[in-house]
Amino acid sequence: MQLTGRGHWGYPPDLCEARQLLRRATELGINHFDTADAYGPHVAEHLIHAALYPYSGDLVIATKGGMTRQGPNLWRPLGRPEYLRQSVELSLRRLELERIDLYYLHRIDPQIPIEDQVGELDTLRREGKIRHIGLSKVSIEQIETARRTTDIAAVQNRFNRVHDDREVLEHCAAIGIAFVPYAPLAAGALNGGRPGTSWSADRTLRWLLAQSPVVLPIPGTSSIAHLEQNSGAGSQRGRPGLGRVLK
């Protein structure tokens, strides 16, 4: 998400640096990249392809659809089944994939029944275009409504020491699906971005990883230095990768 312009709109100031950051991540052993068609829009997916294609065999690319962009910092959910199908097809084309490992419904559109939204993603899964389906920014009730239609492999909600969505985390752990906390460093507030902050990135990420074996944080950055700092916290021996959590 950070590899875009201001307001998550347009291209980053330095395309070369963005591609170098992605390549450095793979050198550090990171093999789970989380993106969305709305980042840019489309910019982050294009960058992942430009930097990492052809992909290594253990690379897991997760992307999202169901959110439209009207300008910098402007977002609007759109969950019509035909739009979600188009979004999947275009992400496959931009990333040059035959199947997306993990595809999230970026936001649930309140104007469309949840069953219709995840039902279309399930159809795409059965067609072989999606391997696993995820949900983002959802409640326990929404998770269970979606699960009555199809299997849900991962939930991506905000979770950090400022915003603790513990009930959803515990629910995911109980039913055995991955919990992927976005903004794990509270948009920089827990990484030195706020005066007086005592929690370093390393301590914060280790705290998150200790919450549950199903927790897989996704700290974002546009800095190679921060990337290297963050990656150390994820190197705990015995931690399962996304592929193992997704079974």
120 within 8 A of 85, measured Cβ to Cβ? yes
| Distance separating alpha carbons of residues 159 and 198, to the nearest angstrom | 18
113 within 8 A of 165, measured Cβ to Cβ? no
| Euclidean distance between the first and the last CA atom of the chain, given in angstroms as a whole number | 26
| Residue from 39, 103, 104, 182 carrying the catalytic annotation | 39
Region of 219 please: left (phi>0), alpha (psi -120 to 50) or beta: beta
Residue 113, C-beta contacts closer than 8 angstroms, at least 6 positions apart? none
**CA pseudo-torsion sign 11, 14, 20, 24:** negative
Q: Which DSSP symbol is given to 40? A: B
Query: Active site includes 39?
Result: yes
Could you list the active site residues?
39
